[in-house]
Amino acid sequence: MAKSKFEYVKHFEQHQTLLRNTWIVVRIDGHGFHRFSAEHDFAKPNDIRALHLANEAARGVMLELNDIVFAYGESDEFSFVLKRDSTLFKRREAKIISTVASLFTAHYVVNWGKFMDGTAMKYPPSFDARAVCYPTNENLRDYISWRQADCHINNLYNTTFWALVLDTTATPPTTTTRAQEILKDTTSATKNELLFTKFNINYNMLPEIFRKGSILYRTREKVAVKEAQDGSSVEREKSLVHVGHFDVIGDEWWVNGSGASILR
């Protein structure tokens, strides 16, 4: 089609590409989710509905972008791992991160009603995204471990914090400021004990989705597919996305579980 004399402005674009043969991790983060979760009355310390909604949104992203081989979610963040030989969008950083942020947002909004039982969306949520490259399997595993350790640390803190604040038997009620003081510089052991002795909560019995976060991964399975012409079925390989809540810091899942096929 005809070109205009203004076309030269196109050449101001500077495309950044992500280094080849590295694991690309795209992490999306809720934008202003402190306020968003407050305005929409998310349960404290964890809103199971919101976690399932985020998982469904992440599943939507994975079903759209086949190069994502693994995803990990906790709180209002989700990390997506692209296989190291991915050539998605020619590894152009801007296209990759904006598409992941957009897809996640779209699925989050579309599925809101299905998961948030009756809570009206007061205003649309949004997510930012960034990409980081990891050159080795060890670096990638350490990244994932970093996020899962972060999930644990935050969740233990938040569980104890909200147990104190929401404790209706306390006179006077524990303020958030007071709860912060109580927990300042405490070890994991102390928080565990406090939960157990004072609130009769055995931390390790809490749902794994809270303590471990959510892992999404694929398997390829044989499925019977109806052929168009004559109605007969043939076997096809199909990629399935699974959601789990288990340890990904230790070697087990990466060596003997489905993780093995990711790092190979």
**Would you count residue 103 as binding its own copies (CB under 8 A)?**
yes
Q: How many residues sit in the footprint of its own copies (CB under 8 A)?
A: 65
**Would you count residue 130 as binding its own copies (CB under 8 A)?**
yes
Order of all β-strands in the sheet with 77-82:
127-134, 23-30, 77-82, 68-74, 214-226, 233-244
**Would you count residue 95 as binding its own copies (CB under 8 A)?**
yes
**Would you count residue 11 as binding its own copies (CB under 8 A)?**
yes
Q: Which of 107, 211, 212, 218 binds its own copies (CB under 8 A)?
A: 107
**Would you count residue 28 as binding its own copies (CB under 8 A)?**
yes
The count of other CB atoms within 10 Å of the CB of residue 107 is 20
Distance CA 139, CA 133 (A): 9
Helix axes 137-165, 188-199, angle to 10 degrees: 40
Distance CA 151, CA 139 (A): 18
Q: Which of 81, 82, 133, 209 binds its own copies (CB under 8 A)?
A: 133
Local structure of 261: helix, strand or coil: helix
Task: Report the residue count for the chain.
Answer: 264
Binding mask 32-61 for its own copies (x = CB under 8 A): ----------------------------x-
Q: Which is nearer to its own copies, 94 or 241 (CB)?
A: 94
Q: Which of 38, 48, 149, 260 binds its own copies (CB under 8 A)?
A: 149
Contacts of residue 107, Cβ cutoff 8 Å, sequence gap at least 6: 56, 57, 58, 59, 60, 61
**Would you count residue 174 as binding its own copies (CB under 8 A)?**
no
**Would you count residue 120 as binding its own copies (CB under 8 A)?**
no
Question: Tokens in use for 235?
Answer: 């076997």
Helix axes 48-64, 93-110, angle to 10 degrees: 130
**Which chain residues interact with its own copies by CB under 8 A?**
1-2, 4, 6-14, 16-17, 19-22, 28, 31, 60, 64, 89, 93-95, 97-110, 121, 124-136, 139, 142-143, 145-146, 149-150, 153-154, 157, 188
**Residues annotated as binding site for Mg(2+)?**
29-30, 76
**Residues annotated as binding site for GTP?**
29-34, 75-76
